[in-house]
Amino acid sequence: MSDDKKMKILLIIPAYNEGEGILENLKIVEDYQASCPYQLDYVVINDGSTDNEEEILRANNINHVELIQNLGIGGAVQTGYLYALQNAYDIAVQFDGDGQHDIQSLPNLIEPILKDEADFTVGSRFLDESNSEFKSSKSRQMGIRILSSLIYMSSKIKIKDVTSGYRAGNRKVIEQFVKRYPRQYPEPESYMHLFSKNIRVKEVGVKMFERTTGVSSINMVKGISYMISVSLAIIASSLLGKESK
Amino acid sequence: MPIQLRILAIILAAFFFIYTIRLVRKDRAEIRHMLKWFILALILLIGSIIPDLGTSIAHLLGIGTLTSLALYFLVGALLFICLKYQISLISAEKEIKNLVQELSLLKKKISDKDKEN
């Protein structure tokens, strides 16, 4: 893996009804693309948006896939992984289209994979090396802490920022996620699937911003049901994992 | 088993038969889909026509009356059928998701080709 520049890297940018801010955020990505040392492409996954997102993407000639039907965040991201597999990318990075993730943090995610220290990296707001000012609300942090210890107890994978959607994986991860990726609230549960496939996971510090446009897919009312269903999913998949060993 | 309940069970069984046969005749379902409902109706019919048989089976299982046995059996059967339906629904959902993904990627490939030309 010495030929870093030959490694094809794909940014998977899922976007649902982000017509308002998508161009602005893609502009930042394109500026970075021009200055970075990697062979970096991106694909926007339009998850069956009902606003003018598709028109904007088309009019501006942006590399994108329009899902003919809304699949939810999990299905949209998985489409990106499928695209990465079909087009022989070496590394796929999940990157939000709403401006939450700082593209300047990309090397933090990619370098451990290029150096073959990890198969999968997770961008975290909670590590000391993260210079993120935005750390999300108290109650959300508490929920994240609970899920984090649940994942640690059942898989020994130590991830602080379990709901982070800023993640990168090599070919092994791409193939695994094409095969299996949870459709709803995918992030925490997906670690359990990686654990059972002996994939090395590493958490790295990244910068995140508060969202500039659109609304988060998890609101306050859904918070509790989110916690319950994700916790159950983690516990259940840990039981399944142990059985199949 | 009280006579009213037996009559009710016979009516229910007859309704099941007629309804499912009509569905198959109108091509809304295949016989293999309806088989479990036929069997359920058949058991219902046998139980209500020969209640003594059912009662002795109930006693054998330590259940007091045929009515209770029928209730246990029906609840159990319905739960099982419910689970089977959810499983087939989930696999249908997965198939649709895969189709949407493949089709959307294919559509992209075609429109990329069109742009090149």
The whole-chain average pLDDT of chain A stands at: 85
Asked if residues A174 and A83 have their Cβ atoms less than 8 Å apart, the reply is: no
Q: Which domains does chain A have, with CATH numbers?
A: 4-244 (3.90.550.10)
pLDDT at site A1: 45
Q: Which residues contact B56 (CB under 8 A, 6 or more apart)?
A: none
Q: Where are the domains of chain B?
A: 1-48, 65-116
pLDDT at site A2: 46
What's the distance, Cα to Cα, between the start and end of chain B in Å?
A: 79
Instruction: Identify the residue among B97, B101, B103, B109 best suited for mutation to test binding to A, counting A beta carbons within 10 A and taking the highest.
Output: B101
- Cα–Cα dist B103/A213, whole Å: 29
Its pTM stands at: 0.81
Q: Which residues of chain B have pLDDT under 70?
A: none
pLDDT at site B98: 95
Exposed / middle / buried, residue B15 (Cβ in 10 Å: 0-12, 13-18, 19+):
exposed
Q: Which residues contact A96 (CB under 8 A, 6 or more apart)?
A: A13, A14, A165, A166
pLDDT at site A70: 93
Write out the residues of chain B at the interface with chain A, using a CB-CB cutoff of 8 A. 96-97, 100-105, 107-108
Residue B94 is encoded by which pair of tokens? 């997965």
Residue A82 is encoded by which pair of tokens? 């499928």
Find chain A residues with C-beta within 8 A of B100's C-beta: 67-69, 71, 75
CB contact under 8 A, B105 and A71: no
A221-232 average pLDDT score: 82
Backbone angles phi, psi at A91, to 5 degrees: -135, 135
Find chain A residues with C-beta within 8 A of B109's C-beta: none
Find chain A residues with C-beta within 8 A of B101's C-beta: 67, 71, 75, 78-79, 82
pLDDT at site A132: 64
Q: Worst-scoring range by mean pLDDT, A28-37, A176-185, A219-228, B29-38? A: A219-228
E-assigned strand segments in chain A: 8-15, 39-46, 64-66, 91-94, 120-124, 167-169, 201-205
CB contact under 8 A, A64 and B105: no
Q: What is the pLDDT of residues A135-171, one digit of tens each?
A: 667 777 888 888 888 888 877 788 888 888 899 999 9
Would the ipTM clear 0.85, i.e. be above it? no
Q: Worst-scoring range by mean pLDDT, A38-52, A96-110, A180-194? A: A180-194
Parallel, antiparallel or unpaired: strands A120-124 and A167-169: antiparallel
Greater pLDDT, A20 or A43: A43
- Cα–Cα dist B117/B102, whole Å: 23
